[in-house]
Chains A and B, each alone.
Chain A
Amino acid sequence: MRSFQKKNSLLCGIGVFLTTFNTNLFAAPEYEFLGYVRQHVAVKLQDSPEISAATGKKINGKGKLSMSRTTVRLEGHATFDDVKFVGIFRSDRERRTSYLKDLEKSAVASSFTPSPPAPAAIPAGLGDAFLDEYDNDELREAYVSFDLGDRYTFRLGKQQIVWGETDVLRITDVVMGYDTRWRSILESENEELRKPLIMANVTIGLPELNGSLQLVFRPGWDDDEAPINNVDLEGGRWAGQPGKGTDALFRAPYNFDHSSGDTKDANYGLRFSGEYNQIGYSLMYYRGLTLDPVVNSAFNPFGDAPTAPGGAEVIFPMTETYGFTFNAYATPIDTVFRGEFAYSPNTPYNIRGFATTFPVGPFGPPSIAALTGTSGLGGIKEKSTLKSMIGIDKNLSLQGLLGTGRDSLWTSQIFDQWITNWDEDDDLADLFGYGAPKKEHWTVLTTVLAMNYDYDTINPSLTLVYDLSNKDVIFVPGVDFVLGDSWRLKIDANIMLSASSKEPGDSPLETDTNLFGTFANNSQLNFRLSYYF
């Protein structure tokens, strides 16, 4: 009721405001409608080694459809004089492929404690773990934008706000979360992964400083889950190995109201963007929720103790980020340089619990990790973290070598996450549920070569993500076909080359698997056919 009243008041305020400033709402509006119908199909190229909690057999899945997803997106713009209304609606429906059904059955069975019952005892009706999450009908964006005078540009409503210069990974892009459950980070148009929020967004032109100041404010009117990253914790197709078919969220549910971070609390920030001597730069500050989940453990609560029966809950503590970005073009070598830095004094990390002990008797206290068989329940520790990126973009003349139709874009970047006050004794976990310790530095190289043939109607690309710290690789060769005015076909392979991966049956405290290692055995071949209108 309170949020409804707030929203109602805001809309009334907007109406009064617009009429006060003589915006001619009765001027002949300009309308624009567009959208697409899209079909995603993904085929698994490798067997998943997980054992189904429902059948006791390997899940496998090689050659099966891991995704068959139909999407309709409708977008409308209405412009009255200087006021613009925008609405974007998207509807997604997935087919329950046999592979997904196998994962779902296993995930449902895994919810039973202490051990899964016989298959016959598992409740009928799918959709109790993750399948329903794939289907959506969502008003993705709905906002009004208008200018006030020469300097002020307002955008109010549900929208996307993106900061930063980094591809694939995110450094100052901290305002909104991603939903990576249906396609991981592999959808090239990340506007489809990003989760828009209801925000007030005002940009103030400051030509005297050759720049502009953007102020953003999220009042907290969104749904509980809206402002955070949705990671596959329920055993779906993008759950990290060996977590497919295991509903981890059942045992450690979300707590969106925790004292350290309530998703209904206001978040806010600002960013100044400018140019000096042909160098584009920005300075930002944001106070908001940690987008990545951490687990609050009853063994060592972070603030309020978890209330879930299992003694663990997923929370999103509040954090602050200070950031700086730049871009510059070096004429003599025809190269664009870009960089991004973000410092957070209080990034939360899970403690593995390998070192934490408590007295249980004369035979030596076991660690929390050994006791529970799970890494990461040792608590949460906040550390200061500096994320940085340096990248270059260069056009390569490959016409002679590869017969391309034009110069090709090569873009490459080095990303590093540095825990500035890292201490081995902190016993930080790289990932909850995996025993690998968090290193002081985590460094990743990404490189992309984008080529064009036949007057930009055939556009191959090669993408490589190489975890230099842990030697895991993601390789994505793909090609985009432009078929006339309306049809587009995209085919890409997501090849996961993990240096080390946790297998079913491994010690729960295995210490070699890091983030990209969890993508093991999940290589896919993707087809995406779109009709634009």
Chain B
Amino acid sequence: MFKINLKVSRLCRLILGIALSASLNLSAVELEEGFVINGANYESVKNQTFEGHVIDSMFSDAYKILIKDYGMTVRLGHSDPWTRPEQLIAISEKYAPNVKFINETNKIENFVAGVPFPSLDIENDPKAGWKLAYNIVYSGFLGDVLSWPTLDFVMVSQEGYERSITYSFSLYQMLGRRSSGDNHIEGNGEIRSLTKLIATSPADVRGVGSFATRYADGRLDDVYVYIRAVRRFRRVSGGSWYDPVQGSDFLLDQTSNAFNADPIWYKDFRLLEKRIMLSPETTTAYYASGESSGSPQEKYPKLDLDTPPYWNYTDENEYWRPREIYVLEAIPPKGHPNSRRIVYVDADPYMPLPFAVDNYDRAGNLWTVYSNTAQRVTTADGHPTVNPVIARMVDLKSLRATLLPSGPGRVVNPPGVTAQDFNLESVRKLIE
């Protein structure tokens, strides 16, 4: 009797549960565009929907922590596909069919330009994760030449604003070029890109600049650092690609578009799933004034530097839109501060933008959370792309963060810039 009663009881609970779930869905509220989700209302809205997707399902666990416990706010916006980059699409369709992935080495062959693997088979291709990584790094979807005259690293802690360092950043793609007509390769094909990163403020770090050459075959970068205080260049280790950026919570391999490394430097990639997530986008042009003087709040008017935890920002033009997102697991090499990373990448094949990354420490605990907000821009030669208007790295263990608010003057594919503008002498000229 007891056993039969137990079975009945379990059956009743099952039926009741199904009925209750059904009733809940039927009563789920479709939130409206403009609704702001925050820590105060998260629990009450997490089961509501937006565009038919349950709110709670559209955030990573890390983002839920930032919303519920650390004041992050999310303003809902309706889906809005990225503007089709017709040039990138045409080039990809021309060259992608010839690209070959070598399973034994995880390298690729026959890449010329465009997105190397526009189509990914998440179910059946164990190398889909690697291919997505190559899409992010090789497609050059941000542009051939990036000129960011002010790239501020703003460091905050539990006490508030600590300090900031302003850099000038510029990058020149030598391979996969789209702005040189049908000539997609500059030079002999050995070099993938050239990068200059020069500290411009404050005055004591002004004059430290680096010049890096990234190679096409995956060997480590050649890196030189110019130190104005001694007026000469110093060759530094190419193995420093995951060192912290001076004083900040960012590692060097997460500065440019959250993925500043050659995929082959990583141990492994796995494409875990595709899901709908809320991804931020803004029409605000920049978050930093670009001025070197003034109080921190004057220099960074969008940042909430007076409100704990001091790492949030207020932008009425930022909307979080449902997008299809790939969830990519990246396993860094031994020695890297992170044991694994979960990278949330836009699933638009021609806009593989990593908009969030969860970084785990060597013990496997969630450590830092990267996020960025993108803005739609047009390159100087008339092609649509995106610009990360603000990036942020929050350290959940130390409760501190570094924000990268973009400043005025950013140009993609500025006219008249050549590879001759990217060498050691050009770094010295900029600094001195």
Contacts and interface: CB of A to CB of B under 8 A. Distances in A.
B235 A405 contact: no
A331 B219 contact: yes
B425 A406 contact: no
Nearest to B165: A485
Interface string A441-461: 000000000000001110000
Contacts of A165: 232, 234
A334 B420 CA distance: 29
A162 B232 contact: yes
Contacts of B279: none
Interface stretch (A62-70, A391-399, A462-470): A391-399
A162 B235 contact: no
A329 B220 contact: yes
B155 interface: yes
A481 B243 CA distance: 20
Contacts of B219: 331
Interface stretch (A183-191, A234-242, A423-431): A183-191
Interface stretch (B51-59, B201-209, B320-328): B201-209
Given A86-B432, A153-B425, A35 B237 contact: no
Contact of A395 (B164, B239, B248, B423): B239
B429 A188 contact: no
A112 interface: no
B247 A407 contact: no
Nearest to A454: B247
Contacts of A357: none
Interface stretch (B27-35, B125-133, B222-230, B363-371): B222-230
Contacts of A533: 203
Contacts of B423: 205, 212
B203 A145 contact: no
Interface in B153-190: 155, 162-164
Contacts of B163: 457, 482, 484-485
B425 A485 contact: no
A331 B232 contact: no
Contact of A331 (B202, B220, B234, B240): B220
Given A329-B222, A336-B237, A338-B235, A150 B247 contact: no
Contacts of B206: 34
B420 A336 contact: no
Given A34-B206, A203-B425, A456-B246, A336 B220 contact: no
Contacts of B220: 329, 331
B231 A160 contact: yes
A532 B203 contact: yes
A75 B224 CA distance: 25
Contacts of B222: 275, 278, 329
Contact of B247 (A190, A329, A338, A455): A455
Contacts of A84: 429
B378 to A, nearest CB: 25
A163 B230 CA distance: 10
A275 B224 CA distance: 12
B236 interface: yes
Given A189-B229, A189-B230, A329 B235 contact: yes
Taking residues whose C-beta sits less than 8 angstroms from the other chain, chain A's interface range is 35 or more
Contacts of B425: 153, 203, 205, 212
Contacts of B164: 485
A317 B60 CA distance: 73
Interface string B263-280: 000000000000000000
Contacts of B335: 397
Interface in A335-394: 335-336, 338, 393-394
B247 A194 contact: no
Given A36-B204, A162-B231, A153 B429 contact: yes
Contacts of A212: 423, 425
Contacts of A407: 240, 243
A532 B203 CA distance: 6
A327 B237 CA distance: 11
Contact of A530 (B204, B236, B244, B246): B204
A392 to B, nearest CB: 11
A299 to B, nearest CB: 41
Contact of A456 (B229, B247, B400, B420): B247
Most A CB atoms within 10 A — which of B224, B246, B420, B429? B429
Contact of A393 (B237, B246, B429): B237
Nearest to B230: A190
B238 A280 contact: no
A207 interface: yes
A486 interface: yes
Closest 10 CB pairs of A and B: A189-B229, A532-B203, A327-B235, A456-B247, A162-B231, A334-B239, A34-B203, A532-B204, A162-B232, A485-B202
Given A145-B429, A164-B232, 19 more contacts: A145-B432, A162-B231, A190-B229, A190-B231, A191-B229, A191-B231, A205-B420, A329-B238, A335-B237, A336-B236, A393-B235, A393-B237, A395-B243, A405-B244, A406-B244, A457-B163, A484-B162, A484-B163, A532-B204
25 contacts: A34-B206, A150-B420, A161-B231, A165-B232, A190-B230, A203-B425, A207-B420, A212-B423, A212-B425, A327-B235, A329-B220, A329-B237, A331-B220, A331-B238, A336-B236, A336-B237, A395-B237, A395-B243, A397-B335, A407-B240, A407-B243, A482-B247, A488-B204, A530-B204, A532-B203
Interface of B: 155, 162-164, 202-204, 206, 219-220, 222, 224, 228-232, 234-240, 243-244, 246-249, 335, 400, 418, 420, 423-425, 429, 432
